[in-house]
């Protein structure tokens, strides 16, 4: 049976504002398919974003959605989840939104292992504001704020979120939408903090300025610079430079350490005292 993805989209808001070939649309495409494959109730699902081109994503989704301030999506999502733990809360964030201004919320969300599904649109640049470098821009890359090449080191967000306590950590890439859907589905079903970084293309402010090219050349670039996580583990260190492992990278099933579950235990302990 063909999947009807249009029922999850606010069709009156389409076509979306993203540039031709922007990977954000492919992420949205894969996400609605992942939601369709789970049995989560659309009426009990909230999608939250911050600011950026990626921040526009929830506006195209037919769920309860919240477009918040720059970097604060995880903070708002934490509030939603704590107040109503039965809701499925999905955060859509950019690499600037989620790892620069919102980096602190990201690590503390991981530390609490709160049951959110966070999809980070990693196009390695601030798209919306014209191509300033982000903490995910590779060393040496050209951005409007690093015209001679970026001297910063980029984060490895998979390592960072795993060390900070996230219990599901994965990386996908827009050149492989089937894998993206699979990873999003697993992240949605996981109880605890799920983080799925997704390599994404901004042809306008990154690809063309770094001589990679337009959308299709950027997808080919992803293919050439990624390997399955299982292969990555066996690779010699010197071959790993500039290559990203894809797939599920870390998973720990420990629903009792989840934040709202722990909070509920406190509430229950008072209910017992009242008896």
Ligand X SMILES: Cc1ncc(C[n+]2csc(CCOP(=O)(O)OP(=O)(O)O)c2C)c(N)n1
Asked if omega into 15 is within 30° of 0 (cis), the reply is yes
Number of residues that bind ligand X (CB under 6 A): 18
Residues 20-59 contacting ligand X, CB under 6 A: 51-54
| DSSP bridge pairs for 126 | 132
Distance CA 199, CA 242 (A): 13
Q: How many CB atoms lie within 10 A of CB 43?
A: 8
Query: Applying CB under 6 A, does 94 fall inside the site for ligand X?
Result: yes
Nearest approach, Cβ of residue 240 and ligand SF4 (Å): 27
Binding site for another protein (CB under 8 A): 2, 5-6, 9, 14-16, 18-26, 28-30, 33, 174, 177-178, 181, 214-216, 219
Within 8 A by CB and 6+ apart from 107, the residues are 160, 161, 164
Residue 31 · residue 119 · CB < 8 Å: yes
Within 8 A by CB and 6+ apart from 33, the residues are 3, 5, 181
Query: Applying CB under 6 A, does 120 fall inside the site for ligand X?
Result: no
Query: Applying CB under 6 A, does 210 fall inside the site for ligand SF4?
Result: no
Which of 78, 122, 123, 181 is the binder for ligand SF4 (CB under 6 A)?
Answer: 123
Query: Applying CB under 6 A, does 202 fall inside the site for ligand SF4?
Result: yes
Rg (CA), the chain: 19
93: enclosing H helix or E strand: strand 88-94
Nearest approach, Cβ of residue 182 and ligand SF4 (Å): 19
Q: How many CB atoms lie within 10 A of CB 128?
A: 20
Query: Applying CB under 6 A, does 120 fall inside the site for ligand SF4?
Result: no
Residue among 14 and 235 whose Cβ is closer to ligand X = 14
Which of 34, 204, 218, 219 is the binder for ligand SF4 (CB under 6 A)?
Answer: 204
Q: Which strands form 117-122's sheet, in the order they lie side by side?
A: 64-67, 45-49, 88-94, 117-122, 194-199, 168-173, 244-251, 226-228
Over the window 2 to 31, marking each residue x when it contacts ligand SF4 by CB under 6 A and - when it does not, the resulting string is: ----------------xx--x-x-------
Residue among 56 and 190 whose Cβ is closer to ligand X = 56
| DSSP bridge pairs for 228 | 246
Residue among 96 and 192 whose Cβ is closer to ligand X = 96
Residue among 113 and 161 whose Cβ is closer to ligand X = 161
Distance CA 273, CA 138 (A): 55
Residue among 28 and 249 whose Cβ is closer to another protein = 28
The DSSP bridge pattern shows strands 168-173 and 244-251 to be: antiparallel
The DSSP bridge pattern shows strands 244-251 and 226-228 to be: parallel
Residue among 78 and 181 whose Cβ is closer to ligand SF4 = 181
Give contact residues for ligand X (rule: CB under 6 A): 51-54, 70, 94-97, 121, 123, 125-129, 134, 202
Give contact residues for ligand SF4 (rule: CB under 6 A): 18-19, 22, 24, 53, 123, 127-128, 202-205
């Amino acid at each position: 049976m063909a999947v009807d993805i249009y029922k999850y989209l606010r069709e009156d808001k389409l076509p979306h504002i993203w540039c031709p070939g922007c990977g954000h649309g492919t992420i949205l495409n894969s996400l609605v398919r992942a939601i369709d494959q789970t049995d989560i109730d659309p009426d009990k699902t909230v999608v939250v974003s911050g600011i950026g081109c990626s921040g526009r994503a929830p506006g195209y989704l037919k769920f309860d959605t919240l477009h918040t301030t720059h970097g604060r999506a995880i903070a708002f999502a934490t509030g939603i989840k704590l107040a109503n733990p039965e809701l499925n809360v999905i955060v859509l964030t950019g690499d600037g939104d989620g790892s620069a201004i919102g980096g602190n919320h990201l690590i503390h969300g991981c530390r609490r292992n709160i049951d959110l599904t966070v999809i980070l649109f990693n196009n390695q640049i601030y798209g919306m504001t014209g191509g300033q470098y982000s903490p995910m821009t590779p060393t040496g890359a050209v951005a409007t704020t690093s015209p001679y090449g970026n001297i910063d080191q980029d984060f490895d967000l998979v390592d960072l979120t795993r060390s900070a306590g996230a219990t599901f950590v994965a990386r996908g890439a827009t050149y492989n939408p089937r894998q993206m859907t699979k990873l999003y589905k697993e992240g949605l079903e996981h109880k605890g903090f799920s983080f799925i970084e997704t390599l994404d293309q901004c042809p306008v402010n990154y690809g063309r300025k770094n001589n990679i090219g337009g959308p299709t050349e950027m997808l080919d670039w992803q293919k050439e610079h990624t390997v399955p996580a299982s292969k990555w583990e066996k690779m010699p260190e010197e071959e790993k430079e500039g290559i990203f492992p894809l797939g599920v990278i870390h998973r720990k099933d420990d629903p009792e350490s989840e934040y709202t579950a722990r909070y509920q235990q406190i509430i229950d302990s008072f209910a017992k005292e009242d008896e």
